[in-house]
Amino acid sequence: MDTCIKMELFGGGLYIPVQIWSKAENKYKRISLTLDTGASVTTLSPEIFYALGYEPSAKPKMKLTTASDVTYVSHYTLDAIKLGDIELNDIEAYGLKFPEESFSMGVIGLNVLRQFDIKLLFSQEVVLLKSAS
């Protein structure tokens, strides 16, 4: 399956709208996340997880090296996310507080992105995702 997603460019980042299943409201909530090929795992601010009704798993916190720091993060599992028309279930994610100056509330990491062949069409301001399977 293929999908086309409008990209947003600001603050030095490339953002895409993602629909994340909210356990708190039993519906999808739209959040703009940074498309980050340097992040191994999708990561959201703990406040986002809380607002969506997610609790950290019982797994011990994991050491995570970011571009600017080394920190410990909690594990979460998102019930479902939608990228355009494509729905993915049971997505592993980490909870990490993002600095205000980053403009980001989270990143879509390689655990999601590697499921697709991706084209960035900057002239049209879209991201094309084609299922890699």
pLDDT tens by residue, the chain, 133 residues: 789 999 999 888 899 999 999 999 999 999 999 999 888 999 999 999 999 999 988 787 888 777 677 888 999 999 999 999 999 999 999 998 877 766 778 999 999 999 999 999 999 999 999 987 7
Taken in order of first residue, the domains within the chain and their CATH numbers are 2-131 (2.40.70.10)
What pLDDT shows up at residue 109?
A: 95
Q: Are 108 and 63 in contact (CB under 8 A)?
A: no
Give the CA distances from residue 122 to residues 9, 100, 107, 109, 126, in Å, rounded to whole numbers and listed in that order: 9, 26, 19, 20, 6
Mapped onto helix, strand or coil, the DSSP state of residue 14 is strand
Tokens of 68: 């600017």
What pLDDT shows up at residue 58?
A: 79
CA distance 102 to 117: 27
